Structure 1
Amino acid sequence: MADNLRILLVEDDVLIGMMLADMFDALGLPEPAQAASREEALAIIANEPLGGALVDINLGDEKGWPVADALAERGIPFAFTSGGGDILPPAHAHRRLVAKPFRISDIEAALAEFAT
């Protein structure tokens, strides 16, 4: 993760998004870019340089797979987030999955992987 590039948070639950942004602040990281839907996330990915992303698998009635595919196509590192019960598709089976409820140590570990 380049120091000057923001992380994208793709999370449809406003309160969880706010909690994640607070965790970034507590870790001394820049404010993340945030998207609450697949469409918002794809627009940010297309228009903003990113250092990585945390992608919620379940975005309302949609899945986050197109967001993951767009990130992978651009070589942007990312991890999935989920409340549980989700199976990653084969193309992304090697990605980290961070389970809710989030612990700051899990978020920090996921972000640290973006730098490698």
Structure 2
Amino acid sequence: MSEFSDLKVLIVEDEGIVALLIEDMLQDLGCEIVTSVGGLKQAYGIAATAQIDLAVLDVNLGGERSFPVAKILRERGVPFMFSTGYGAAGLPAELSGSPVLSKPFSAKALVETLSLALGESQLR
């Protein structure tokens, strides 16, 4: 059993193949994918109401940024991590300390970033 078993995860990713890759990697770790969405509007409602333990947020969703979704999650106390090709430098100041999974990534990098996101949420 993994330390991530039964972790309920929201994936916000607009690239279908990348979303499937993240889903597969998380499921291999024992996570439950609550839902995977590709748009900002869908992500708002789910982030505000769904019972989730963690969210993986692509920074760029078809030209829109996922930062408002991160703020909703932060207000709810739900840990999150960004998945991006821009690196941590692409985050606004108020989210600059958030865990970042740099694309492309390995399973090892995913596990490390998951651990970081979950560990930070326990410090809040």
What TM-score comes out, normalization by structure 2 length? Answer: 0.83
How far apart are 1:23 and its partner, in Å?
0.3
Point out 4+ residue stretches in structure 1 off by more than 4 angstroms: 1-5
Give the whole-Å Cα distance in 2 for the aligned partners of 1:21 and 1:111: 13
Q: Is the 8 A contact 1:11 1:56 kept in 2?
A: yes
The runs of 5 or more residues in structure 1 that have no matched partner are: none
TM-score (norm 1): 0.88
Q: Name the counterpart of 2:94.
A: 91
When you count helix as a share of all residues, which structure comes out higher? 2
Matched residue, 1:16: 18
Which secondary structure does the structure 2 equivalent of 1:115 belong to?
helix
Q: Which amino acid aligns with 1:19?
A: L
Q: 2:7–2:31: 8 Å Cα contact kept in structure 1?
A: no
| Contact kept in structure 2, 1:42 and 1:67, CA below 8 Å | yes
Shift of 1:84: 2.2
Q: CA deviation at 1:5?
A: 4.9
Matched pairs, number: 116
2:122 aligns to what? none
**Percent of aligned positions that are identical:** 31
Greater length-normalized contact order (CA 8 Å, ≥ 6 residues apart): 1
Q: 1:63 and 1:96, CA in 2 relative to 1: closer, same or farther beyond 3 A? A: same
Alpha-carbon distance change, 57 to 2 in structure 1, aligned in 2, over 3 angstroms: same
